[in-house]
Homo-oligomer: A and B are copies of this chain.
Amino acid sequence: MKKFEEKTIATTPIFTGRVISLQVDEVELPDGKKGKREIVKHPGAVAIIAMTDEGKLVLVEQFRKAMERTLMEIPAGKLEPGEEPIVTAGRELEEETGYVCEEMEHVTSFYTSPGFADEYIHIFEAKGLRKKENAASLDEDEFVELLEVTLEEAAVLMKEGKIHDAKTVYALQYLLLKNR
């Protein structure tokens, strides 16, 4: 048995949407008591750390409805069924930024919110960026603006609260550690 395993007694599906689904599991806790766990299922995601030849980090600014505000984030997107994360990474980079790359290297993967969601995000680093003519375009409900910033500018944007999400903060730390 896994340590502290919580055995499923019953699963109640609550909602199935286009991006996420929600279920409530009734579980047997390690002490034999019963408990409930609210669980968001997510298909998983990729995010791409992309530096231009001029040493600028590629960001996209977009409106995030959950927070009712715009955020500046590294390019990212969710996995399509059956798609390899590295393929998703190349597709999202092209769609959101118009860049393609010579090499897409896996950096790490992590859960974003293990307390209530199974979202697992794969971080890639895109090397050898070049602008593509007639690049693939965004999904019809996506509106993003491309930004390219130095690491110093990114640090200021983070202090100002415009860069404000886990994957982008990760990317900035990764680049600082790499360039030290």
Which A residues lie at the B interface, using CB under 8 A?
A: 2-6, 14-15, 17-20, 22, 24-25, 27, 29-31, 33, 35-42, 45, 61-71, 73, 76, 78, 108-119, 121, 140-141, 143-145, 158, 164-167, 169-170, 173-174, 176-177, 180
The interface residues of chain B lying within 8 Å CB-to-CB of A166 are: 110-113, 121, 166-167, 170
Nearest B residue to A34, CB-CB: B141
Nearest B residue to A118, CB-CB: B66
Q: How far is the CA of A29 from the CA of B33 in the complex (A)?
A: 47
Smallest Cβ distance from A36 to chain B, in angstroms? 7
The interface residues of chain B lying within 8 Å CB-to-CB of A3 are: 61, 63, 70, 145
Smallest Cβ distance from A66 to chain B, in angstroms? 4
Say which residue of B37, B66, B108, B145 sits within 8 Å of A66 (CB atoms): B37
Return 13 A-B CB contacts under 8 Å, by A number: A4-B62, A4-B145, A14-B15, A14-B22, A19-B116, A22-B22, A25-B65, A29-B143, A33-B140, A66-B114, A111-B165, A113-B119, A166-B167
Nearest B residue to A141, CB-CB: B35
Nearest B residue to A169, CB-CB: B110
Q: How far is the CA of A173 from the CA of B67 in the complex (A)?
A: 26
The interface residues of chain B lying within 8 Å CB-to-CB of A20 are: 38, 40, 116
Question: B110 to A141, Cβ gap below 8 A?
Answer: no
Q: How far is the CA of A112 from the CA of B42 in the complex (A)?
A: 13
Known: A41-B66, A112-B166, A173-B173. 9 other contacts (CB 8 A): A4-B62, A22-B22, A22-B40, A37-B66, A39-B65, A39-B66, A67-B111, A112-B165, A177-B177
